[in-house]
Amino acid sequence: MRLFIAEKPSLGRAIAAGLGEAEKRNGYIECGPDIVTWCFGHLLEMDQPEAYDEKYKAWKKEDLPILPNAFNASVRKDAAAQMKIIGKLLQDAECVVNAGDPDREGQLLVDEVLEYHDYAGSCQRIWLAALDDKSVKKALSSMTDNNDYTGLRDAARARSQADWLVGMNCTRAMTLVGRDAGNQGVLSLGRVQTPTLALVVNRDLAIENFKPHPYFTLHVEILHEAGTFTGTFQPLDTQKGLDDQGRLINPDEAFRIKKEVSGQAGKIIEAVTEKKKKNPPLPHCLSSLQKAASAKLGMGAKQVLDVAQALYEKKLTTYPRSDCRYLPEEQFDEAGRVFAVLTNVSGLEQIAGNTDCSIKSAAYDTKKVTAHHAIIPTGETPSNLSDDESALYRMIAQSFCIQFYAAMEFEAQKILTGINNTVWKSTGRTILNPGWTAFIREQEDEDAEDQVLPGVHQNDGITAAQVDIKSQKTKPPARFTEGTLIEAMANIHRFIEDAEAKKTLKENEGIGTEATRAGIIETLKARHLLELQKKNIISTDLGRQLVKMAPEVLTDPVTTAKWESRLSAIADGKESLSGFMTDQSIQVPELVKAIFALQLAPLPGTHLCPECGRPLCRQKNPKGSWYWGCFNQDGHATPVFLNDKNGKPDLTPKKKIELSEHKCRACGKPLVKRESEKKAKGGKKNYWWGCSGFPECKERYFDDNGKPRFNNKGE
């Protein structure tokens, strides 16, 4: 029996359809002599530190760094039943086929299941870039040996283990340092989330420190016998009064140019007319969908992912966690079937009804398809959709429909005019065929100038009318939204100078993955490092302090670039997993040491211990009541605990405790007579005796006529 283990049920069903004779069973599908089963993503998850030693359950400085000799993983609770099914099927398997996604995570995901069950038999690998029938049958006929992909598996394992080491140790270290400054939450550090946080912090600081300065643009109306048009001043290299961006900032120069050009004669230096085409934008990947939905629908990144996942589970759109905007050529013939459905969907009737299925856009390129193809409609009829689902479905469908429209054709025009030793540029365009832009106009170039220029020729004479001076101010960069932050993470190479790192990050499509970027932003928000202000993502004071204090190696995306270079080397067999992890085990202790050397100032609003001046922490006792305790427990002879009063520590001086001559039978320390909350009969006061060594000693005694009753303990 040949056993296919797919990464997820949808992939398993596609393989079963390709094999034929499919009969569903519990957790698998029988296909004649073959069986197809599946995972639900990673069935195994890396163990938490306390799984290695119970002492790690409490976060303590003396326990860091945590460096396991070997990394362990446990079966997810929600995947235990499926893992058991796979184990039973493996017992009868003569050959296994790894049907993970065609990437390093997909390779590890199935390989680790085989390792968990100690499978040592024959294993092949199927490489599926698309799930249509043609692609599946082609892949089934061209399978290879799974051992050819051990490098890919080791690269995925290296990434997960190194992320565990850095994330677990540095987050615990920074959180413990933060507690000394009064922060009560988790200060999360990680290879991806920390440079993401730094992106926002740096952008916010650039905006707040931005100082606008004025500059001037000059425009002239140019008179020609064929017609009138507008030209914009183009400074020459010899022009005085420019800033480092080539903008004219000297008002005297602006007025001098106006005076010397207005009403003067000139001539056409250059006149160029060129026919051009603008192809439709490619279908969406998750990042582009998140950016577009953020801008046009006001959706957050995680919201887009959740809605796209819902559409996928309703079989209305393809897999949402895609980093690819291309489609397999084998799916081209399926478009007509999809449009037959879309023409009956409200809001899509026109755009779907006027498509031309003979047009094959640049999106259809199998060689450019990665683990998943672009997100497109499946051709199933939508029904009972929420407002968000409907809006996102239409956005995905429109992006697909315009692939079957002609390119926008236009005539681009450029004229350079010389007037009294100055040059003026005029641009315009004439739309010849709107093509796809007839339906999605908002996606046209925002900077395109619509002026239609007259037919002029080089050396034609002209006359300049009045020059108009416009005073403007430089603008700061825009705040990040969730959509633009997702885009920045995917294109983080634009934010760094190192040429090699820039190249590596561009090739690996940024930091994080399509599946994790939204979750990283949510984590940063949940831990109060980022927050939403209307549609903008803003860094908090805590987030800024964290970036300022974090080791540079964690805030710099170049670190990720270096990691990715080494992971690629592991995948190619040029470097080993053990060598990479040895270097991480050397680096992590240095990172922890650097973090513990930090001195964080107390955060604003922090309540300080009345005895030692260190931050207090608000916590709940087992009964659910709030109290305050001092972090600096080692700095007191006895622990400091204060009652909570309206969300603040009650600093009212307590009555001095009077120690009696009676001793505790358990530890020998003096007893203290205390008044009970419960009254005696007739409303009289009731008393009990407690040990002054509390909380180490919790002995209590009944009161017997003003003395502790030692023969019958209790309150």
pTM: 0.76
Domain limits, the chain: 2-142, 159-208+483-596, 214-278+412-473, 286-404, 616-649, 671-713
Q: How many other CB atoms are found less than 10 A from the CB of residue 649? A: 23
Asked whether residue 91 carries a pLDDT value surpassing 90, the answer given is yes
- Could you tell me which residues are beta bridge partners of residue 164? none
Domains 214-278+412-473 and 286-404 fall in the same CATH topology: no
Bridge pairing between strands 641-645 and 648-649: antiparallel
> How many residues would you count in the chain?
715
- Could you tell me which residues are beta bridge partners of residue 123? 96
Among residues 133, 126, 132, which one has the least CA distance to residue 110?
126
214-278+412-473: CATH homologous superfamily? Topoisomerase I, domain 3 (2.70.20.10)
Check residue 257 and give its pLDDT. Answer: 97
User: What is the average pLDDT score of the chain?
Assistant: 90
Instruction: Of 35-39, 56-60, 99-103, give the lowest mean pLDDT range.
Output: 99-103
Check residue 444 and give its pLDDT. Answer: 43
CATH architecture of the domain covering 159-208+483-596: Orthogonal Bundle (1.10)
Residue 532 CA, chain-centre distance (Å), reads 15
Instruction: Of 228-237, 381-390, 435-444, 534-543, give the lowest mean pLDDT range.
Output: 435-444
Omega before 214 within 30 of 0, i.e. cis: no
CATH architecture of the domain covering 2-142: 3-Layer(aba) Sandwich (3.40)
Asked whether residue 634 carries a pLDDT value surpassing 80, the answer given is no
Close Cβ partners of 198 (under 8 Å, ≥ 6 residues apart)? 547, 555, 556
Which CATH code is given to the segment(s) 286-404?
1.10.290.10
* CA distances (Å), origin 629, targets 55, 245, 399, 641, 690: 22, 56, 57, 5, 21
Question: pLDDT (tens digit, 9 = 90+) per residue, 98-138?
Answer: 999 888 899 999 999 999 999 999 999 999 866 778 888 88
319 annotated active-site:
yes
Asked whether residue 445 carries a pLDDT value surpassing 50, the answer given is no
Mean pLDDT computed over 280-298:
94
Close Cβ partners of 92 (under 8 Å, ≥ 6 residues apart)? 1
Which residue among 319, 393, 405, 701 is the active-site one?
Answer: 319
Among residues 78, 301, 77, 53, which one has the least CA distance to residue 168?
53
Q: Where is pLDDT greater, at 164 or 312?
A: 164
